[in-house]
Amino acid sequence: MSRGRNLCQALHSMTHNHVQIFAMNHIITLIRSRQARPLLLAAILLATFGNSPAQTQTQTQTGNEAAAAAASTLPEVTATRPQVIIHTSMGDIRLQLFADRAPATVRNFLQYARDDFYSGTIFHRVISGFMIQGGGFTVDLERKRTNEPILNEADNGLKNTRGTVAMARTNNPNSATSQFFINHVTNRALDHRNKNSAADWGYTVFGEVIQGMEVVDAIAMVDTAPQPPLPRDVPVEPVVINSVEVITAD
């Protein structure tokens, strides 16, 4: 375990570019070989989603206020467990969302869905035995403009078990916008532990797959490669999110 903690500390001390290179070329290989310990998984998420320490400190100072303000502008959701269908080029994935446990996150996700934001985006980061991530890049790997970030609700008691859906973020806990990931396996290292550090904050689980887990498994097995500007783990054949259909939300 000390090895994992030392690695986390080393990642935080590096510059952003060095973290990207180190994480992509070394640690993800351990994930694929199933030799990585839980803290290594957390280190990878912080390295891949994260910013430099200076950027993180600046963002955190105003992040809570901005995220709270953003959440206050989102429409209320009356259904406690709304459902959506992610229509992808490889099949449909039906989600049940936990509006009773992660209200701001669910409102945010549903707003993007209703705005047709996700149509034409892709699963741009696919790691078998870890997770599949999408909702932020087009087929041409152009990053889409998003709304303001939202508050982290990872302390809601929900865990990053296989088939759950959680929000991607940067090193700032309150930085999630549109990108989400589906856990291909149970990832305990991504769960909320405390609010002492970005890694310990965890990643907000806000839903689960109730139909189409076989589609998630199929996506997780596609061939991937580096595709600039992304350093690796991009599907060779794009896995496109054709739309996110809101089934029940009101």
3-class state of residue 28 by DSSP: helix
**What does pLDDT average to in each consecutive run of 10 residues of the chain (250 residues)?**
45 38 46 50 50 40 53 59 97 97 97 97 97 98 96 97 97 96 97 93 98 98 96 97 87
- Domain assignment present for residue 43? The answer is no
The answer to whether 30 and 40 are in contact (CB under 8 A) is yes
Question: Which domain range does residue 152 map to?
Answer: 73-248
Cis peptide before 229 (omega within 30 of 0): yes
Provide the number of structural domains found in the chain: 1
The answer to whether residues 92 and 149 touch, using CB atoms and an 8 Å cutoff, is no
Q: Could you tell me if 43 and 11 are in contact, meaning their C-beta atoms sit under 8 angstroms apart?
A: yes
Does residue 116 lie within any of the structural domains?
A: yes
| Residue 1 belongs to a domain | no
Contact 249, 79 (CB under 8 A): yes
CB 160 within 8 A of CB 154: no
Helix (H, G, I), strand (E, B) or coil at 202: coil
Residue type, 240: V
Q: What pLDDT is stored for residue 248 in this prediction?
A: 79
The answer to whether position 33 is within a domain reads no
Q: pLDDT at position 80, please? A: 81
Q: Give domain status of residue 61, yes or no.
A: no
Number of Cβ atoms within 10 Å of the Cβ of 147: 15
Residue 2 lies in a domain: no
CA dist 196 and 212 (Å) reads 36
Q: Note the pLDDT of residue 199.
A: 86
Q: How far apart are CA 165 and CA 180, in angstroms?
A: 7
**What pLDDT score was predicted for residue 65?**
57
Tokens of 33: 């070989």
What is d(CA 129, CA 53) in angstroms, rounded to the nearest whole number?
Answer: 29
Q: Write the CATH number for 99.
A: 2.40.100.10
Q: Could you tell me where the DSSP H helices lie in the chain?
A: 2-13, 16-22, 28-32, 38-49, 53-72, 103-114, 198-201, 213-220
CA distance 188 to 166: 13
Residues β-bridged to residue 119: none
Cα-to-chain-centroid distance, residue 30? 20
C-beta separation of 161 from 190 below 8 A: no
* 210 within domain boundaries: yes
Residue 180 domain flag: yes
In what helix (H) or strand (E) does residue 95 lie, and over which residues does it extend?
strand 91-97
pLDDT given for residue 59 in this prediction: 47
